[in-house]
Each structure stands twice: as C-alpha cells, then as structure tokens.
C-alpha cells in the first residue's frame, strides 16, 4: 500500500478507499470472510503471493507474466520445479537454460512466453485482470479459472492551472509551436527506449521543432548503459522519477505520450490510463493487451521489423496535424471517463468480491 513506490501500491490505495464506501473492508484482517490480493511482477509482492496461496481469495493480477518475479525470489532448483509444475517435466532443460541466461530476461521474448500462472490461477476463487491479453494468459494456465476482466481505474488528479502547464513547458525550454512527446515511468527494456530515441532522431531532423521528454528512473543498468550515448541527443530532455504533483504538471505539458510495451507482461499501463484520462494521445504497442481501446482513441505501433518505421510515421503524423492529436486525445478522455472511473471500477470489483464471498459461505 502507499507510500510504497509502485504503481500497484497507488492502485491498491485508490481502490481500497473506494471499496470502503461499498462495504465492510479492512487491511490485514486474517479473519475476514474473503481476502483480496494485489499481485504484480515485483519483489515487493513476495509475502502477498505466499498468502494468496495459503489463504486463497480474489486476486487482482496486475502483471500476467510472473516469470521474472520467480527469477527474483526462487533458487535455481525452486525455479526449475515451478517451471515444470506449469509446463511439464519435458521442459526441465529449458527451465535450467532460462535460469542460467536470466541476465537477458528483461528483453528476451522467451521469458514472456512462459507466464507461470498455473499455481495462483488454480487456487484463487476469482482472478481479476485488466485486459484481454492477461485473461488469455490466465485461461491458458487454468481452464477452470473464473476470470473477471475489469478496466484499470483512473483516479483524476487535482486540476492543474494553465499557467503551471505553461511554466512547465518554459522550464523544459519548449517554445510555442514546439511539439513535445513524453516517455514516463520506470525505464525498462520493454519500453523500447533505444528504438524510441532512434526514431526521434530521424523525426527531429525532419521537424526541428519536435521535442522528447524522458522522465523516469532506470530499472535496468544495462539499459542505462545502452542509452548513455543518447544523453546529449538534440531535442531530448532527461529527468528522473517525479513527485506526484510534478508528474501531473509534466504530463499536462506534453502534446503526446509514447508508451511502448514489448515484449508484453500482460499488464495494463497505469501511465497510459493517466495520459488518456487527461486527453493526451498515446502511441502504444499494438498487442492483445491494448486491443480493448477503441481505434479512435490511440495510435498503435506493431512490434516487429517495422516497429521503428511505424513509430516514426506516427510521430510525424501527430506533429504534422496537431488538430488530429487533439482529436485523438479528446476521444481517449471520453473513453476513460466512460469505462475507467474509480467508482465504476470499484463497483465491478465489489460485485466479484461479493459473489466469491457468498459462494465461500454457502
């Protein structure tokens, strides 16, 4: 829970406050009728994962690929046993190879093909996911799993005055008429940052008024070293992770977001929801995880050999037509307002919790 520095903690805190308006809910009550667990691909969730197995309840699965989680919390023999529990003993050699080559787990697609969800999916009374990609992963590991797909919540920020947005752009050296792209959040290999920087370099040569803001902390030291030559790239501004108020000032200051996720861990990006919620167009990866957004609300880039070229074309299209960018942003905000509001998400979660509790008490 907050103030732990993670997107899942922020989500859990917001949802907890909304659920308290609907029924009798408390923190850390081992004698409760039903337990609700938030699980993500993060070592902060070790104890939560263990409890979810010991006292099964409803799990909100924020990341549907838990393989990286197991690489961080299990020994080699434990990891191999967990892998074979999920996929069969004939995969024992593959499991050992994945363990020995785990330094490349952040970007190697093999680690994303094996989510290792069977144990949590089999024991949980319900599994809540945020997108069709995650639902498909859970179902592939447990056909009997009872899955509820509930949109990722959007908690609107306090209003940001227009003069603060102008001040933020000025502080970044953004002049009127410049088009500012933004990359936010923890910087890991799956956010495709080297490719984003390469695409922006070409875009900047064609449109010298294009700008790129990268605001976040590096999760991977390998990625930090890989992009070190780009730290002085023209048109690019680098900032670390921002406090909440500064974050909202910056996201209001951009003209469009770039939030690629590939390989995908089955997560719905909280950053994407926040950007769309305030009316910013977002360039995102064209994956099953993002397929629930209407086409008119996003700009999608297909992973693969054409990814860089498609990103360049998407960026150029938005720069060349700011009115198009604004239109996509407006439609994105409408979609989030209609489907992702906190009270709406809490009500859907409460229905799932109530059904699971009634079933348990019968």
Per-residue model confidence as pLDDT tens digits over 169-213: 999 999 999 999 999 999 999 999 999 999 999 999 999 999 999
**247 and 141 within one domain:** no
Range of the domain at 275: 162-339
**Has residue 75 been placed in a domain?**
no
Confirm if 191 and 183 have CB atoms less than 8 A apart: yes
The pair of three-digit structure tokens given for residue 240, joined into one six-digit string:
């670390």
**139 and 248 within one domain:** no
Question: Can you state the angle between helices 7-19 and 270-277, rounded to 10 degrees?
Answer: 60
DSSP class of residue 41 equals S
Q: Cβ-count burial of 68 within 10 angstroms (0-12 exposed, 13-18 middle, 19+ buried)?
A: buried
Helix (H, G, I), strand (E, B) or coil at 320: helix
**229 and 180 within one domain:** yes
Nearest to 222 by CA among 192, 189, 251: 189
The torsion of the CA quartet 214, 220, 224, 225, rounded to 10 degrees, works out to: -160
**184 and 323 within one domain:** yes
pLDDT recorded at residue 221: 87
Query: By mean pLDDT, which of 87-91, 107-111, 307-311 is the weakest?
Result: 107-111
Q: Global pTM?
A: 0.94
CA distances in angstroms from 173 to 176, 208, 235, listed in the order given: 10, 14, 10
pLDDT recorded at residue 220: 84
Q: Which residues, including other chains, have CB under 8 Å from residue 195's CB and lie 6 or more apart?
A: 260, 307, 308, 311
pLDDT recorded at residue 107: 85
**244 and 133 within one domain:** no
For residues 315 and 33, the model is more confident at 315
């Amino acid at each position: 829970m907050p103030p732990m520095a993670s997107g899942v903690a922020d989500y859990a805190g917001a949802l907890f406050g909304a659920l308290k308006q609907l029924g009798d809910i408390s923190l850390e009550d081992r004698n409760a009728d039903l337990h609700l667990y938030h699980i993500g691909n993060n070592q902060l969730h070790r104890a939560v994962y263990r409890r979810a197995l010991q006292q099964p309840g409803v799990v909100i699965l924020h990341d549907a690929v838990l393989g990286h989680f197991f690489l961080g919390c299990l020994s080699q023999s434990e990891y191999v046993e967990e892998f074979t529990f999920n996929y069969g003993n004939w995969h024992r050699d593959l499991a050992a190879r994945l363990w020995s080559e785990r330094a490349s787990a952040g970007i190697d697609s093999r680690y994303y093909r094996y989510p290792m969800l069977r144990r949590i999916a089999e024991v949980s009374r319900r599994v809540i996911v945020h997108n069709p990609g995650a639902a498909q992963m859970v179902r592939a590991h447990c056909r009997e799993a009872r899955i509820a797909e509930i949109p990722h919540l959007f908690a609107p920020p306090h209003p940001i005055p227009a003069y603060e947005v102008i001040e933020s752009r000025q502080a970044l050296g953004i002049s009127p008429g410049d088009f500012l792209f933004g990359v936010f959040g923890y910087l890991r290999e799956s956010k495709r940052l080297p490719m984003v920087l390469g695409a922006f370099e070409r875009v900047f040569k064609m449109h010298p008024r294009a700008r790129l803001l990268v605001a976040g902390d590096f999760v991977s030291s390998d990625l930090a070293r890989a992009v070190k030559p780009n730290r002085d790239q023209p048109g690019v501004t680098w900032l670390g992770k921002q406090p909440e108020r500064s974050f909202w000032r910056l996201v209001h200051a951009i003209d469009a977001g770039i939030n690629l996720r590939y390989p995908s861990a089955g997560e719905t990006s909280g950053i994407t929801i926040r950007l769309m919620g305030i009316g910013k167009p977002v360039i995102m990866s064209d994956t099953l995880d993002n397929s629930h957004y209407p086409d008119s609300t996003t700009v999608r880039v297909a992973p693969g050999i054409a990814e860089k070229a498609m990103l360049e074309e998407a960026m150029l299209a938005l720069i060349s037509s700011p009115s198009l960018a604004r239109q996509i942003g407006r439609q994105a905000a409408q979609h989030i307002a209609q489907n992702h509001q906190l009270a709406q998400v809490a009500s859907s979660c409460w229905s799932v919790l109530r059904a699971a509790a009634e079933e348990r008490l019968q």
